[in-house]
Amino acid sequence: RLGEAAALQLGDIDFLRRQVHVRRQVQRREGDVDIRLPKYNSERTVHVPDALLQVLSEHVALGLPYDWLFAEVEDVPPHQNTVGYRWRTTLQRAGVTGVRLHDLRHFYASGLIASGCDVVAVQRALGHAKSTTTLTTYAHLWPTAEDRVRDAAAQLFDEVARSGEGTVRAE
């Protein structure tokens, strides 16, 4: 979520355990910055890949003049309009159209599912209050029982065919 990313501080990144701790989010009301718990009180730990930690460490190495990981001018988190502008500018430079920043969240969720993560793991990673929210949004991406039976049968067939122990005879 944008507000959660905007509220990241260096102390939220645990480079040794390869984790990012989501502890707060930024909300803006009538020009004021309000720092509060994440949506639905979904404080959580997100397990992140080494490649992301490398990018974050390079960002940190540039020097952080403020407490916020992505602050620019003042010691306040970036405004969502600034982040949106940067996103649109980046897409334009890359020649990409039709991708919203929020689409990255769906991309992440679908990647977790494709890699075999269960609903609870995806729920926790996304910060959904209930697993039903995760299922309502992403149920179509999990393999069906029929898919699992088909895959298991294919694996069994391949193992038997490779072993040379079994022969198939038509009778």
Predicted pLDDT of residue 20? 96
User: Mind listing the pLDDT tens digit for each residue in 12-68?
Assistant: 999 999 999 999 998 877 778 888 899 887 899 999 999 999 999 999 999 888 888
What's the whole-number mean pLDDT along residues 86-94? 93
What's the whole-number mean pLDDT along residues 103-120? 96
Any residues with CB less than 8 A from the CB of 127 and at least 6 apart, and which? 1, 4, 22, 38, 39, 40, 42, 44
What distance in Å separates the CA atoms of residue 11 and residue 67, rounded to the nearest whole number? 9
Confidence check: pLDDT of 110 > 60: yes
Q: What are the CA-CA distances from residue 104 to residues 3, 33, 72, 109, 144 (Å)?
A: 14, 25, 23, 9, 25
Tell which wins on pLDDT, 88 or 79.
88
Q: Please give the backbone phi and psi of residue 46, each rounded to the nearest 5 degrees, phi first.
A: -110, 125
Confidence check: pLDDT of 171 > 70: no
